[in-house]
């Protein structure tokens, strides 16, 4: 595996791990869903690049599943709250990025 693909996979996984440990975030009201959409778009693009576009459904499923897990995880944290619309923003971001890259047949890889 080329080092750049490994770095993308590690970065995507790293962002996901960090999200699990962030206890609070000072995001202004009204920008929460935009931040969710942006972060999950970046995670999806990194994982897509890391897999060289060869596993689009696996990337989509992994990001959507992680979004669901993150929201469920927040139920048990006193400083966080789970919201269905946060999950919808996460899943929409993953779907949009995967959809655009799949339609454009972009692997984001040079082989």
Q: Quote the CA–CA distance of 4 and 68 in Å, as a whole number.
A: 28
Q: Quote the CA–CA distance of 23 and 41 in Å, as a whole number.
A: 21
Per-residue model confidence (pLDDT) at position 106: 62
Per-residue model confidence (pLDDT) at position 47: 96
Residues 3-49 have pLDDT tens digits of 999 999 999 999 999 998 877 777 777 798 999 999 999 999 999 99
Is residue 41 within 8 A of residue 96, CB to CB? The reply is yes
Residues 52-111 have pLDDT tens digits of 888 999 999 999 999 999 999 989 888 788 899 999 999 999 999 999 998 887 655 655
Q: What is the pTM of this model?
A: 0.89
């Amino acid at each position: 595996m080329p080092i750049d693909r490994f770095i993308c996979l590690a970065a995507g996984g790293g962002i996901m791990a960090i999200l699990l440990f962030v206890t609070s975030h000072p995001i202004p009201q009204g920008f929460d869903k935009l931040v969710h959409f942006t972060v999950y778009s970046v995670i999806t693009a990194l994982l897509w690049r890391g897999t060289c576009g060869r596993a689009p459904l696996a990337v989509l499923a992994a990001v959507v599943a992680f979004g669901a897990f993150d929201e469920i995880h927040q139920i048990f944290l006193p400083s966080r709250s789970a919201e269905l619309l946060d999950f919808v923003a996460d899943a929409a971001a993953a779907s949009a990025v995967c959809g655009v890259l799949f339609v454009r047949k972009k692997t984001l890889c040079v082989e």
